[in-house]
């Protein structure tokens, strides 16, 4: 729980014929983290199988075609299957999608054409509407001898330019209507300038709308005929849509199944492309949890007795590249999520999740102490964690975080004697922050000191686990840092008259010695860990830097500790905010009146929502910046078991620079 | 200049200046041009800021792939500076970056027309992953759609849809991508102009001076090309060019469209422009004096912008001009580098290449 699972590096030697079945078995096992390698263990350059590369490219193209058909038939991808579907060869998938494309093509093309026709007819109506009252036969406008007439639509941005381009030609441009970025216009000119006018209109993107010959008579008569045409087209569209809906109903399962088969096959081909390929065998390297090694061997043995599984000794270059599989109880998944948001723990460092599960609710509760508000949060958290609301199921892990924060707020609420902001319902078991401000601030500092110390102890443990003895002892977050910190605290407490069992002189000597250790930390660390040269810079620079290093350590310990004062300040603010709610409630109505209670309820909801959010952010800030920064470097590699069921839309992720 | 302006630009300026120091020097340019072969060129490039992007197996580095890899440097510079630049200058950089999105869109449309596959098209595109409206996924969907009209329908969510869906009628009538490409070019520069208008104070002034000049140069060169190569009518040239600009006025475009002497018009706009009087004899590979004149003019105009950009680094540093100047210099550098790669791949003589690449102002 405190450390990622122990890992073993394994290498599989797979005969060519067994590669598909073995890969499928590895993916189904859920315990194998594959490392795509570029070098075989023999040091020979890796050879990538062309066949699998072709598969990858072909399947990617097929996937695209399937998605296109699905999009046209308005079918979504659906949820990924629980078990990997059977592998499909690209040519088989191609044949299948070709048939489906052919089936869907006719109604879709017809539908598209009908929709375009409808748009065109609607455009005609829109253009004729402004001249609907004219008693002119449109036929005469089509065959004018001396006048050039062009009715059409043009981007509004181009109108001025068109006018400017026709500066030396007689013309009249009349805007009939605006619709979005387009305008309906009529361009008049002389027939003798028709060539220039046409070229100008075309280059200004004035799209003419030549009314089909079928529409004759006055504009009003043409509009009536167009409306009838629109009605007919709508009917056609409806028929095509029904046909497509029928097709969708028939093919939905087929298309989804095909899509996931292609995706799984693509993932398989992609995985094999990442294997080292020798003459007739594949070399596959990866990590497996030590506890699951025997199971992996068993699974592979069931597939084939020709596949060899070898355990490799981790090499120097593996350090920092071992995936970390965090092993926490499922109810801590919310806290684990908060930890991985900050950074993925390294394989060789402690998992901060248990520490966070302990400290996060504590810090939150201290700032948000109220039995009623805590109870509401607890209920919301339990509701989320219980997966009762379908839409919020993905937030179930976070529900535990909310519930524990609520429970902690209830405990502190009992200590502070506060329920829904009422401070006179029951006696505070401890004290009321609003009345004892100094006490709550001091308490916050004490909690801060304990948290900082816990962070330093975590760092000491991490250093010890990695056998970085120099860092363990002399680092500012190591033993020397901890002793220095506590010596200063002891001296500070004595200065304020607090009885400390250790004499001041002892504290000063211990603090001074640890201070010297911190000042020359780099020198001592290099000395202990056999790193040379002992000092990187020249002595003068080193001494100057060392002095400032100590000064910075002092300042940062001081500011880190003071940072926790905010916990007390928020506890006071929580009480004050509730007080404000009651003052407003009493201004609105007498105590006990409806107005009073409405304000109290709304005020409480505001405090829970608004202040709860701010306190949550502050808690996260204290955890991330004041606590994690002491010991947690992050940057680890998460354990990702090989899978042939990729997440939707993950296959065509953008490539990198290729370098 | 307020304290907030200084603070806002402090980090991005430090980064920009560090990047500026990695621009290729005239000595490196000289070595690249003189490289005896494509392999030798790759060897030279390996020692520059582009080296990190060329760490691929030699057989993979075809000229086309090399160009694609080189483009990554520009991509990462843009993405880094956009991330660091404060608003509202950031929006201008994003808009400037989208020029490559427009280019990618044009390449995709050409790919659809020639029936090219994604694998054939992808290396012709500029790699773009952040601050884009058109993703690789969109481009693949467009290519898979098979026809221009259906491809356009697939990018309804992008700002290019309205432009293209209106212009597509002309494409369908003429079966030529020219109207679509011109519509995209014009609309892109309109949006860029609007982004400049959204700036204030020094930011606005510098953006106008640098990006405005770049828009002016594009506009001028379009007008000239339409006249010389496409033989378009006055009306068409006017409609296919922009009605706004920093120093170029509508009257200048009209004069070019109506057949005025190009050098005279350009000299009137940029009296200080150097290099227009270079030899009037066409070089080998140039078919006509007009073509030679255009090439000389292009060189002179880009040199002018290059000098403007270089000069930006000498004055007050707390404005968007520093980022714009660096990015524009990097764009010109990349453009010339691509020309060098293509020249070496096609074994163009060194002296011919040296006449194309202008390294004097660098």
pLDDT, residue B119, reads: 82
Out of B56, B118, B236, closest to residue A659 by CB: B56
Of the residues A158, A169, A180, A659, the best mutation for testing chain B's interface (the one with the most B CB atoms within 10 Å of its CB) is A659
Q: How far is CA A491 from CA A482, A565, B189, in A?
A: 14, 20, 69
Is the confidence at residue A224, as pLDDT, over 80? yes
pLDDT, residue A91, reads: 94
Set of chain A residues whose Cβ sits within 8 Å of the Cβ of B170? 202, 205, 207
pLDDT, residue B15, reads: 87
Q: Which of B198, B217, B242 is the last residue of a domain?
A: B198
State whether residue A155 is helix, strand or coil: strand
- Smallest CA–CA distance, residue A184 to chain B, in Å, is 13
Q: Is A542 in contact with A519 (CB distance < 8 Å)?
A: no
| Encoded tokens for B190 | 């309109």
- Looking at per-residue pLDDT, the higher value among A83 and A118 belongs to A118
Give one DSSP letter per residue of A486-529, joined into a string: HHHHHHHHHHTT---SS-HHHHHHHHHHHHHHHHTHHHHHHHHH
User: For the ranges A486-500, A531-545, B56-70, B199-213, which has the lowest average pLDDT?
Assistant: A531-545
A155-194 pLDDT tens trace: 999 999 999 999 889 999 998 888 888 888 889 999 999 9
Strands (E) across A553-639 are located at 637-638
User: For the ranges A39-53, A62-76, A473-487, B286-300, which has the lowest average pLDDT?
Assistant: A39-53
- Smallest CA–CA distance, residue B18 to chain A, in Å, is 21
Phi, psi at A86, each rounded to 5°: -65, 150
Contacts (Cβ under 8 Å, ≥6 apart) of B274: B300, B303, B304
- Angle made by CA atoms A10, A13, A16, in degrees to the nearest 5: 145
Q: B101 with B149, same domain?
A: yes
CA-nearest of B117, B129, B82, B122 to B104 is B122
Q: What's the rounded Cα separation, in Å, for the pair A404 and A411?
A: 11
B269-280 pLDDT tens trace: 998 887 776 544
Average pLDDT, chain B: 89
Grade residue A651 by pLDDT with cuts at 50, 70 and 90: very low
Contacts (Cβ under 8 Å, ≥6 apart) of B75: B126, B127, B128, B129
Contacts (Cβ under 8 Å, ≥6 apart) of B30: B359
Average pLDDT over residues A262-287: 90
ipTM of the complex: 0.86
Q: What's the rounded Cα separation, in Å, for the pair A253 and A79?
A: 12
Interchain proximity B183–A65, CB inside 8 Å: no
Q: Which of B198, B219, B251 is the last residue of a domain?
A: B198
Out of B119, B166, B235, closest to residue A196 by CB: B235
Q: Is A33 in contact with A323 (CB distance < 8 Å)?
A: yes
State whether residue A95 is helix, strand or coil: helix
A423-478 pLDDT tens trace: 888 898 988 998 899 999 999 999 999 999 999 999 999 899 888 898 899 988 99
Pairing state between β A637-638 and A323-324 = parallel
pLDDT, residue A120, reads: 84
pLDDT, residue B5, reads: 61
Set of chain B residues whose Cβ sits within 8 Å of the Cβ of A65? 144
pLDDT, residue A130, reads: 75
pLDDT, residue A41, reads: 43
Is the confidence at residue A658, as pLDDT, over 50? no
DSSP code, position B22: T
CA-nearest of A635, A656, A642 to A35 is A642
Q: What percentage of chain A exceeds 90 in pLDDT? A: 49
Alpha-helix residue ranges (DSSP H) falling in chain B = 3-20, 26-34, 38-45, 63-84, 89-114, 118-122, 136-145, 148-153, 160-174, 178-197, 201-207, 213-228, 234-239, 250-257, 262-269, 289-312, 321-345, 350-356
Q: B75 with B31, same domain?
A: yes
- Smallest CA–CA distance, residue A657 to chain B, in Å, is 6
Q: Which residue of B has its CA nearest to A207?
A: B169
pLDDT, residue B181, reads: 96
Out of A57, A161, A658, closest to residue B238 by CB: A161
Beta-bridge partners for A178: A183
Q: What percentage of chain A exceeds 70 in pLDDT? A: 95
pLDDT, residue A99, reads: 92
Contacts (Cβ under 8 Å, ≥6 apart) of B231: none
CA torsion, points A570, A571, A574, A578, in degrees to nearest 10?
Answer: -150
Q: B115 with B132, same domain?
A: yes
pLDDT, residue A290, reads: 93
Q: B218 with B309, same domain?
A: yes
Q: B153 with B244, same domain?
A: no
Beta-bridge partners for A312: A9
CA-nearest of B100, B105, B57, B67 to B82 is B100
Set of chain B residues whose Cβ sits within 8 Å of the Cβ of A184? none
pLDDT, residue B159, reads: 94
CATH number of the domain residue B356 falls in: 1.10.132.50
Set of chain A residues whose Cβ sits within 8 Å of the Cβ of B145? 68
Set of chain B residues whose Cβ sits within 8 Å of the Cβ of A187? none
Q: B186 with B97, same domain?
A: yes
Interchain proximity B238–A207, CB inside 8 Å: no
Q: Which residue of B has its CA nearest to A649?
A: B137
Chain A positions contacting chain B at CB under 8 Å are 57, 61, 64-65, 67-68, 112, 153, 155, 157-158, 160-162, 164-169, 180-182, 196, 199-200, 202-205, 207, 652, 654, 657-659
Contacts (Cβ under 8 Å, ≥6 apart) of A594: none
Q: Determine the distance from the C-alpha atom of residue A410 to the mean position of all C-alpha atoms in its chain, rounded to a whole number.
A: 32
Interchain proximity A658–B234, CB inside 8 Å: no
pLDDT, residue A279, reads: 79
Q: What is the number of domains present in chain B?
A: 3
B58 touches chain A (CB under 8 A): no
- Angle made by CA atoms B162, B163, B164, in degrees to the nearest 5: 95
Q: How far is CA A364 from CA A409, A435, A612, in A?
A: 7, 20, 9
State whether residue A182 is helix, strand or coil: strand
B146 touches chain A (CB under 8 A): no
Set of chain A residues whose Cβ sits within 8 Å of the Cβ of B254? 167
B285-330 pLDDT tens trace: 555 677 777 888 888 899 999 999 999 988 777 889 999 999 999 9
- Smallest CA–CA distance, residue B255 to chain A, in Å, is 12
DSSP code, position A418: -
Q: B327 with B292, same domain?
A: no
Out of B52, B140, B236, closest to residue A200 by CB: B236
A228 class by beta-carbon count within 10 Å (0-12 exposed, 13-18 middle, 19+ buried) = exposed
- Smallest CA–CA distance, residue B53 to chain A, in Å, is 5
pLDDT, residue A471, reads: 87
A98-140 pLDDT tens trace: 999 999 888 888 998 899 889 888 888 877 887 787 777 877 7
* H helix and E strand count, chain A: 22, 11
Set of chain B residues whose Cβ sits within 8 Å of the Cβ of A161? 238-239, 243
Q: What's the rounded Cα separation, in Å, for the pair A286 and A14?
A: 13
Q: Can you give B31-87 as a three-state secondary structure string?
A: HHHHCCCHHHHHHHHCCCCCHHHHCCCHHHCCHHHHHHHHHHHHHHHHHHHHHHCCC
Interchain proximity A652–B239, CB inside 8 Å: no
pLDDT, residue A48, reads: 54
Q: What's the rounded Cα separation, in Å, for the pair A363 and A569?
A: 12
pLDDT, residue A309, reads: 92
Tell me the torsion sign for CA atoms B94, B100, B106, B108.
Answer: negative
Tell me the torsion sign for CA atoms A386, A396, A637, A79.
Answer: positive
Contacts (Cβ under 8 Å, ≥6 apart) of A54: A90
- Smallest CA–CA distance, residue B300 to chain A, in Å, is 29
Is the confidence at residue A49, as pLDDT, over 70? no
Interchain proximity B136–A57, CB inside 8 Å: no
Q: B166 with B261, same domain?
A: no
Q: What's the rounded Cα separation, in Å, for the pair A159 and A172?
A: 12
Is the confidence at residue B11, as pLDDT, over 80? no
Q: B111 with B72, same domain?
A: no
Is the confidence at residue A70, as pLDDT, over 80? yes
Grade residue A372 by pLDDT with cuts at 50, 70 and 90: very high
Set of chain B residues whose Cβ sits within 8 Å of the Cβ of A205? 166-167, 170, 179, 183
Q: What's the rounded Cα separation, in Å, for the pair A502 and A488?
A: 12
User: For the ranges A23-37, A496-510, A526-540, B238-252, which has the lowest average pLDDT?
Assistant: A526-540
Is the confidence at residue A653, as pLDDT, over 50? no
User: For the ranges A289-298, A486-495, A496-505, which has the lowest average pLDDT?
Assistant: A496-505
Interchain proximity A57–B119, CB inside 8 Å: yes
- The domain containing residue B33 runs over which residues? 1-84+320-362
Q: Is A134 in contact with A218 (CB distance < 8 Å)?
A: yes
Contacts (Cβ under 8 Å, ≥6 apart) of A174: A185, A186, A188
Out of A158, A658, A659, closest to residue B239 by CB: A158
Q: B79 with B98, same domain?
A: no
Set of chain A residues whose Cβ sits within 8 Å of the Cβ of B117? 61
Set of chain A residues whose Cβ sits within 8 Å of the Cβ of B50? none
- Looking at per-residue pLDDT, the higher value among A41 and A519 belongs to A519
- Smallest CA–CA distance, residue B239 to chain A, in Å, is 5
User: Hey, what domains does chain A have and what are their CATH numbers?
Assistant: 136-217 (3.30.70.100), 330-631 (no CATH)
B350 touches chain A (CB under 8 A): no
- Smallest CA–CA distance, residue B243 to chain A, in Å, is 7
Q: B248 with B273, same domain?
A: yes
Q: B182 with B120, same domain?
A: yes
User: For the ranges A238-242, A294-298, A496-500, B110-114, which has the lowest average pLDDT?
Assistant: A496-500
CATH number of the domain residue B103 falls in: 1.20.1690
Q: Which of B182, B198, B214 is the last residue of a domain?
A: B198
Q: Can you give B147-165 as a three-state secondary structure string?
A: CHHHHHHCCCCCCHHHHHH
Which of B345-355 are b and which e, b meaning 16 or more Cβ less than 10 Å from the residue's Cβ? Answer: beeeeeeebeb
| Encoded tokens for B161 | 């849809």
Contacts (Cβ under 8 Å, ≥6 apart) of B107: B121, B124, B125
Q: Is A207 in contact with B166 (CB distance < 8 Å)?
A: yes
Out of B56, B137, B141, closest to residue A658 by CB: B56
A504-528 pLDDT tens trace: 899 999 999 999 988 888 888 888 8
Q: Is B58 in contact with B51 (CB distance < 8 Å)?
A: no
Element (H, E) at A276: strand A276-277
């Amino acid at each position: 729980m405190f450390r990622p699972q122990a890992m073993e590096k394994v290498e599989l030697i797979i005969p060519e014929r067994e590669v598909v079945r073995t890969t499928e078995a590895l993916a189904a096992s859920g315990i194998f983290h594959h490392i795509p390698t570029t070098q075989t263990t023999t040091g020979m350059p890796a050879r990538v199988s062309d066949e699998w590369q072709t598969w990858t490219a072909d399947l990617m193209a097929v996937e695209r075609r399937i998605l296109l058909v699905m999009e046209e038939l308005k079918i979504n991808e659906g949820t990924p299957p629980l078990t990997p579907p059977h592998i499909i060869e690209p040519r088989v998938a191609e044949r299948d999608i070709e048939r489906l494309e052919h089936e869907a093509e006719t109604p879709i093309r017809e539908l598209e054409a009908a929709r375009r026709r409808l748009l065109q007819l609607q455009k005609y109506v829109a253009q004729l509407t402004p001249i609907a009252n004219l008693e002119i036969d449109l036929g005469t406008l089509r065959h004018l001898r001396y006048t050039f007439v062009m009715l059409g639509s043009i981007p509004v941005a181009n109108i001025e330019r068109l006018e400017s381009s026709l500066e030396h030609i007689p013309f009249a441009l009349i805007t009939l209507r605006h619709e979005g970025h387009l305008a309906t216009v009529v361009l008049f000119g002389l027939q003798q300038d028709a060539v220039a006018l046409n070229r100008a209109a075309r280059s200004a993107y004035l799209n003419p709308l030549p009314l089909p010959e079928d529409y004759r008579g006055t504009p009003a008569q043409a509009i009536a005929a167009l409306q009838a045409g629109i009605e007919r087209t709508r009917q056609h569209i409806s028929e095509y849509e029904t046909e497509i809906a029928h097709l969708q109903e028939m093919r939905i399962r087929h298309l989804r199944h095909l899509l996931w088969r292609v995706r799984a096959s693509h993932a398989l081909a992609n995985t094999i492309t990442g294997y080292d390929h020798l003459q007739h065998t594949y070399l596959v390297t990866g990590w497996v949890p030590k506890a699951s090694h025997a199971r992996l061997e068993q699974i592979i043995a069931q597939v084939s007795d020709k596949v060899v599984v070898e355990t490799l000794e981790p090499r120097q270059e593996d350090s920092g590249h071992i995936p970390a599989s965090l092993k926490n109880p499922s109810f801590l998944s919310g806290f684990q999520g908060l930890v991985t948001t900050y950074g993925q723990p390294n394989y060789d460092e402690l998992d901060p999740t248990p520490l966070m599960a302990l400290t996060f609710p504590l810090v939150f509760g201290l700032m948000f102490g109220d039995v009623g508000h805590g109870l509401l949060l607890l209920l919301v958290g339990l509701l989320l964690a219980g997966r009762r609301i379908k839409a919020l199921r993905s937030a179930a892990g976070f529900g535990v975080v909310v519930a524990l924060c609520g429970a902690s707020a209830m405990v502190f609420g009992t200590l502070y004697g506060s329920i829904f902001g009422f401070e006179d319902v029951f006696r505070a078991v401890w004290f009321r922050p609003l009345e004892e401000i100094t006490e709550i601030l001091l308490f916050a500092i004490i909690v801060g000191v304990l948290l900082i110390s816990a962070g330093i102890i975590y760092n000491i443990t991490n250093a010890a686990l990695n056998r970085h003895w120099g860092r363990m002892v002399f680092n500012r977050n190591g033993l020397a840092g901890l002793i220095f910190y506590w010596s200063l605290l002891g001296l500070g407490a004595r200065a304020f008259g607090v009885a400390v069992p250790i004499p001041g002189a002892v504290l000063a000597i211990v603090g001074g010695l640890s201070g010297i250790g911190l000042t020359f930390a780099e020198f001592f660390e290099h000395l202990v860990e056999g790193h040379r040269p002992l000092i990187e810079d020249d002595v003068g620079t080193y001494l100057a830097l060392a002095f400032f290093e100590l000064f910075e350590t002092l300042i940062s310990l001081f500011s880190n500790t003071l940072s926790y004062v905010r916990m007390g300040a928020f506890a006071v603010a929580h009480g004050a905010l509730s007080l404000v709610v009651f003052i407003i409630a009493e201004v609105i109505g007498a105590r006990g009146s409806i107005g009073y209670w409405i304000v109290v309820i709304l005020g409480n909801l505001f405090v829970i929502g608004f202040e709860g959010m701010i306190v949550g952010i502050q808690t996260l800030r204290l955890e991330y910046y004041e606590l994690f920064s002491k010991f947690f470097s992050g940057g680890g590699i998460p354990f990702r078991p090989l899978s042939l069921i990729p997440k939707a839309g993950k296959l065509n992720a953008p490539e990198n620079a290729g370098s | 200049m307020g304290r907030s302006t200084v603070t806002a630009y402090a980090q991005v300026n430090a980064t920009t200046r560090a990047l500026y120091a990695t621009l290729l020097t005239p000595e490196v340019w000289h070595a690249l041009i003189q490289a005896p072969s494509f392999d030798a060129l790759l060897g030279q490039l390996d020692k520059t800021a582009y080296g990190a992007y060329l760490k691929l197996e030699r057989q993979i580095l075809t000229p086309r792939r090399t160009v694609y890899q080189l483009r990554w440097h520009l991509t990462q510079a843009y993405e880094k500076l956009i991330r660091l630049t404060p608003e509202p200058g950031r929006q201008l950089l994003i808009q400037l970056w989208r020029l490559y999105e427009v280019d990618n869109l044009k390449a995709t449309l050409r790919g659809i027309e020639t029936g090219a596959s994604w694998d054939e098209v992808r290396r012709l595109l500029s790699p773009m992953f952040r601050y884009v409206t058109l993703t690789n996924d969109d481009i693949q969907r467009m290519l898979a759609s098979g026809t221009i009209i259906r491809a356009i329908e697939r990018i309804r969510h992008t700002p290019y849809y309205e432009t293209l869906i209106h212009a597509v009628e002309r494409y369908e009538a003429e079966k030529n991508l020219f109207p679509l490409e011109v519509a995209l070019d014009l609309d892109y520069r309109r949006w860029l102009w609007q982004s400049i208008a959204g700036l204030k104070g020094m930011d606005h002034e510098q953006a106008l001076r640098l990006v405005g000049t770049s828009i002016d140069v594009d506009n001028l060169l379009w007008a000239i090309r339409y006249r010389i190569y496409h033989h378009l009518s006055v009306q068409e040239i006017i409609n296919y060019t922009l009605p706004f600009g920093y120093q170029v006025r509508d009257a200048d475009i009209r004069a070019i469209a109506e057949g005025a002497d190009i050098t005279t018009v350009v000299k009137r706009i940029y009296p200080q422009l150097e290099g227009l009087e270079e030899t009037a004899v066409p070089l080998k590979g140039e078919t006509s004096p007009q073509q030679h004149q255009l090439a000389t003019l292009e060189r002179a105009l880009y040199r002018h912008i290059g000098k403007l950009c270089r000069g930006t680094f000498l004055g007050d540093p707390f404005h968007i001009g520093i980022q714009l100047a660096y990015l524009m210099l990097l764009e010109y550098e990349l453009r010339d580098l691509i020309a060098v790669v293509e020249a070496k791949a096609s074994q163009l003589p060194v002296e011919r290449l040296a006449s194309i690449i202008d390294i004097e102002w660098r």
